[in-house]
Structure 1
Amino acid sequence: MKLKDIKSYCLSKHKTYETYPFGEIPICYKVNNRIFAQIYPKAEDFKITLKCTDDVGDFYRRMYPGVVVRGYHCPSIQQPYWNTVYLTDFPDDELLNMIDHAYDTVIKSFSKKVQKEIMEE
């Protein structure tokens, strides 16, 4: 999947915005000020890091060993909750599922009241 398509898909999520809190790289996607996706767009190291639940993160790491790894940039305590996906030849449908899961995971981390406010706006 091309960078522009990934960016467009992330931005299609309700109330999502693009931001650069760490400089030019990574390109971050947030909802309600929480990151759910970080894209590293360099051609020689094209990857995305996505928020996940522990069980889903482990599932993808087992399904795609060496391609989906624990969030490489995270402290070890947070690594089970982030997956880094090396995007060379990674299936598009799986990537879209993982982005959906990342967004949903962040949405579900908010209180029911905040979730309702986000989805109603």
Structure 2
Amino acid sequence: MTAEDIKAYCLSKHKACEAYPFGKVPVCYKLNDKIFAQLYPDEGNYKITLKCTADAAQFYRMVYPDKIVEGYHCSKVQKPYWNTIYLDDFPEKELY
């Protein structure tokens, strides 16, 4: 899945927008002024951080321990709700 595919998918959400609150990277996608995805499109560091429920986040970390980790940029309080997914060789179907 390319960065353009991810961008198109995120922006297909009703009222979603793209934002750059931290500079050029990460590319953030927001709904109702809240970030739900942070894309790092650089080769060699191709990843996305997604917000989800704490239970779903933990489940995916257990299923893909080599590809999904707690949101690396998050505070301890936020970590249960964010997953960073390393996208090289990650199943596209699972990302959707």
Question: TM-score band, normalised by the shorter chain?
Answer: over 0.9
Gap runs ≥5 in structure 2: none
Segments of 4+ in structure 1 off by > 6 A?
A: none
Which structure is richer in relative contact order (CA contacts within 8 A, separation 6 or more)? 1
Separation in 2, partners of 1:57, 1:71: 10
Q: RMSD of aligned C-alpha atoms?
A: 0.5
Aligned equivalent of 2:36: 36
SS in 2 for 1:56: helix
**Percent identity over paired residues:** 60
Whose helix fraction is larger, Structure 1's or Structure 2's?
A: 1
Partner of 1:50: 50
Matched, 1:24 2:30: no
CA distance in 1, matches of 2:4, 2:54: 28
AA aligned to 1:80 is P
* Bigger Rg, which one: 1
TM-score by length of 1: 0.78
- TM superposition shift of 1:94: 0.7
Deviation of the 1:77 alpha carbon:
1.3
Displacement of 1:66: 2.3
Structure 1: where are the runs of 5+ without partners? 97-121
Q: Say if 2:83 is the partner of 1:80.
A: no
Question: What SS is found at the alignment partner of 2:74?
Answer: coil
Number of residue-to-residue matches in the alignment: 96
Q: Which structure shows the higher strand fraction?
A: 2
